[in-house]
Amino acid sequence: MVTIVDWVQRCSAAQEAGSPFPEASLLRAVVDHTEWSVSADQQDAYMAGAAPSCLEEMSGLELAAALPAGGLLRLHYAPGATPLTLGPPLVAHLQLFVQIRVVENILSHLQRGAALPLSQPCARLRDFDSYWVVQQGAMLALAPDVERRRLAAAFTAEDSLQQFIAAREVVGAELIAARLSGAELFGRLAEADLDGVVFNPAGPGSPMPLTKAVAAHILTGE
C-alpha cells in the first residue's frame, strides 16, 4: 500500500528532477490524509515526525478548505528533506478535491440506497462542474459490465479517468476525454440510449453504478 509519505517523497523527487508526476492521485492522497500539522500562515503542512511543535492539527479536507486562493503550499514528509511545493494551480486543484469528495459521498449513498448525508444532494451533483467522460465520436464510452448493461463511464476526477484509460486493453485514437458540468452530464445521460451510468468504474474505490431513472432524478430533483 502506498502511503502519503511515499506519495509526497516520490512527487518531491520528480519535482526536483523536473519530471511530471500524477497530480490528481497525489492530491487525493493529501485530502484523504487525516493528520496534518499546519503552520499559522497555512503555507506549510507537515506529516507526523516531520513537524515542529505548536502547529494546528487539520485533516486533509480541512487543510484544502482553509487554503487561501492563489497561495502555495509546501508539504513536508521528513525533517531536513526538500518539501514538495504546490503552486497556485495545484492548490486550486487541491481545493477542488473538497467538492469532489462531497460529490463522491453523495453518489456512494445513492448507489447504496442509503440516507443522503447532505441537503439538496441532486442540486449539488448538478452544480459540480468537473465531471469527466470519455467520448468515442459522439457517443459516451461504456464501462465493462458483467450483466451486459449499457452503462456510460463517468468520472469525478482526473485520477479516476486516468485509471480507466490505463485499464482498457485497446486505447484508440478516437477516444477523447471531455470535462462536463453536472447539468451537461445528466442531461446527456437522460437523452442517451443507455441503461445507466457508473462513476469511477476503474477506481479509486468501488465503482458507483446508477440506473438511468436515478440519473434522470438527479437532473430535476433537489
Calculate the average pLDDT of the chain: 93
Query: Is 102 a domain residue?
Result: no
Of 132, 208, 202, 157, nearest in space to 24 by CA = 157
Evaluate whether residue 104 is within a structural domain. Answer: no
In a domain, 85, yes or no: yes
Predicted local distance difference test score (pLDDT) of residue 110: 94
Instruction: Assess whether 154 and 210 both reside in one domain.
Output: yes
Domain identity same for 160 and 207 = yes
Residues 68 and 131 in one domain: no
Give the pLDDT band (50/70/90) at residue 169: low
Q: Could you report the per-residue pLDDT of 132-154, keeping only the tens digit for each?
A: 999 988 889 999 999 999 999 99
- pTM, full prediction: 0.92
Q: Read off the pLDDT band of 171 (50, 70, 90).
A: low
Question: Are 137 and 207 in the same domain?
Answer: yes
* E strand residue ranges, 72-195: 73-76, 84-86, 131-136, 139-140, 151-155, 175-180
Give residue-wise pLDDT tens across range 52-99.
Answer: 888 999 999 999 999 998 999 999 999 999 999 999 999 999 999 999
Cα distance between residue 49 and residue 84, in whole Å: 16
Query: Angle, to 10 degrees, between the axis of helix 88-112 and the axis of helix 23-32?
Result: 70
Residue 215: give the domain boundaries.
120-220
Domain ends where: 77, 93, 109? 93
Nine-digit cell string for 97: 478535491
Residue 9, in any domain of the structure: yes
Same domain assignment for residues 86 and 49: yes
The per-residue pLDDT for 90 is 97
